[in-house]
Structure formats: structure tokens, C-alpha cells
A and B are shown apart, each in its own frame.
Chain A
């Protein structure tokens, strides 16, 4: 239904044909032809499309039909694009000062095709490039708009907690889905993270109490950057104050990252991960049902 419809109507080049852009092109291509320099310079014919490009600011001449079609393809999961064919015909050389105008029509849209990259549609456009009323070149361009195939590499494994003889008991508890807090055997002070001695009385004797897992967000950050391959930013990292009084750092889940707030009631949840390095259980904190923005049952 899009075939034959204009993709760009009466577009104009953002710059007239000019020596600096020609020189930049020749430098990039390693093209030392004398035809492209000096007072009688012409533009390399293969620059034809470059004069029509929208650059960083995009095209102003695109029609609704072209954008509408791209949006439809995006919505069909064909979010990636790759150019596959370019056929250009040059009727006369372009010279510095030439002001180009162009019209582009959608020549054809293929049926759904399966390619090495993924499944998608080939979209062919034809662009007529003019200087004034004179046709100076034509440009047929084919792109594949596709949904990347599921050949992606497995996600990298999550980083593992560093377990040592001082904190091994905590991780043994987590493996049993119990959140264990250290307690000084002499003065009864609770402490977390796990340490060899009590920072209240200095005693080296301790035992544990199992936390109820209830707590509130004492503070939090939202991680945007830098991304770590195993994680999918943005996500919220909370400093959670447990009902027993100690604080613990972990992800806050079950609530959009931008809805996490200080004071948000949370409850521990033990999450099991399976990846290239095996199984891993981690305690995370889920926003309590009914908390602002909480999403029931979803991560």
C-alpha cells in the first residue's frame, strides 16, 4: 500500500555542493583524483546521496507515508535497518555551487523475507536528484528493515558475591532462603554486613538471628551509567533498613525504578538465577503490595 507513494517531496540539499565536503569525502576514501580538486573541481559522483542526507538533524522533507511505514515496521518488531543495495546513475557531474533538490518515491516493499540477519522487509526507494530543472542523477536504494534473529549471545553471568570465612554464614543462610543477621553474644548488638568482631563492645563471640525480611527503603540510587553487561539499567539499588534495625544493600524490585522512595515498605525475596556460571540465590527487596507504584508479581 506504500508502493508508489512519495518518501520525500521537494527535498533540498542542506548545503550546496562545496569543496570542503568534497575534500572531507576524498580524505576519508583515500581518493586522490585531481578531478576533485582545484578550480575546475567536480564532486565525486558517488557522493550523490551524501548531498541529500539529513545529517544529525534529520530530514525535513520526509513525507508522512515513509515515516508511517517505518513506524509500522518498527511495531512489527522490525526495529533494525541495514542498507543492502545502492544503484546510482550520474547524468552530469555536480560542481561546487550546485544547489540540489530531490524527490524520493517508495518503489517497492517486499513480502516478509527471512535473511541471515533476521526476518524483515526490503524497502526500495528511488530518488531523482535535480539542479534547478535538470535531472543530474538517480539513486535507487534498498534497505532491509528487520527483526534481529535470536542468535544473540547468552547474557553474561551476574557477578558473584565475594564469600570469605567472615561472611560465609550469611551466604549459607541465603542459599536456604533465610536472611541471617549477626548478633554479638556478649552485648546483643546486631550487625550487618558480617564482621569478625562487635563494633559496640569488641567481642569476637557471636550468633545469628533470622530476620523477618520486612524493612523500608532507607536510601537508594538509580543506576543508569555505566552499564554492566549482566544488568539492564536503569534499576534501583536500595539501602534497606530491616525491621531488626540493620541495613542491607540490594535491588529494589516490583516497582518501577523511578517510583522507589525513601520509606517505601519492602520485604525480602530470594531470587534464583541460572547462568553460565551455574545457579545463584540472591536476596532482593520487593515493594510491599499496595505500596505506591508497586507492580504485583512482576519484576
Chain B
């Protein structure tokens, strides 16, 4: 376990997070977000609507983006804004890789704006911007290799 300490810096990249897009994740995310649209759990009906398979709902994507940021900024980080746009759908069997880059940073206020991209094998599944606040304590919290894994 590394103990390297990382301070957020403008232009700094967050370690990527790989998310296997399983059928289970898609269905669990849809149900946890109370989204019962058939295209998120019924492959046959999804196909009838012109989609090759079920696909992840936007609420799950939103939750994963939020998790990606709070995983990085630590347990006292608080999400203030999450704005996302969807592109290429997340179908089962794919992998989405979330990456982030700090675009704005106000050290005094403990506020960072992070540009997030989630790419799958088709293209960008999600692009967005997250505003997060964090306390000074978490600025110097250790960001180990394990946190990135």
C-alpha cells in the first residue's frame, strides 16, 4: 500500500475507475433507483424497441459518477452539483472506464469542479461536470493505489 499524499490541483487527473457493465449491475441499478422501464431489465422488449439489449439507466450512471468523485475525495466530501449527458449506451458485457480531471479548484472554500468522462467500447457513455466540496483534512488524505483499484 502506497502512502503517497496527493493534493488536488487544477489539471490533475483522477485515477481511472473501471466498471464492468454486467446485466446484474444494470438491473440492480434500475431497481435501486425505482426505474422499472422495461428497457432496463427485459432484453426481449428492449429489442422490440430497436435496442440490441437492455441498457443502463441514467440514474445508475449518475450514481456511479457520484461514487467515483466521493471515492476520490474521501468520506467527508460532499457533492454539490452533478450534471451529466449520456451518449453511447452501457450494454451488458461492456466495460466503462471513468476518468476525471480537475477543472477548477478553490482551496480556501474547499471546492473542486471535476470534468468526468465514462468511456465504453462504443464511445463516451457519459460526459459531465461534478462540483464537490471537501474539508482541508481530506485534501491531504492518502490516495493509495488501492483507492484507484
Residues of A within 8 A of B (CB): 14, 21, 24-25, 27-31, 33-35, 44-47, 49-50, 53-56, 80-90, 93, 117-118, 148-149, 151-152
Contacts and interface: CB of A to CB of B under 8 A. Distances in A.
Given A27-B32, A53-B35, A33 B75 contact: yes
Most buried by B among A14, A47, A80: A47
Given A27-B28, A50-B33, A55-B34, A87 B63 contact: no
Interface of B: 19, 25, 28-29, 31-37, 49-50, 57-60, 62-67, 70-71, 75-76, 78-86
Given A27-B32, A35-B75, A46 B63 contact: yes
B41 to A, nearest CB: 12
A93 B78 contact: yes
A47 B63 contact: yes
Nearest to B30: A28
B50 A29 contact: no
A29 to B, nearest CB: 4
Nearest to A34: B75
The list of the 9 closest CB pairs from A to B, nearest first, reads A53-B34, A46-B66, A28-B28, A87-B83, A83-B58, A28-B32, A148-B50, A31-B67, A45-B79
Nearest to A52: B34
Contacts of A81: 37
Given A86-B62, A148-B50, A29 B83 contact: no
A49 B34 CA distance: 9
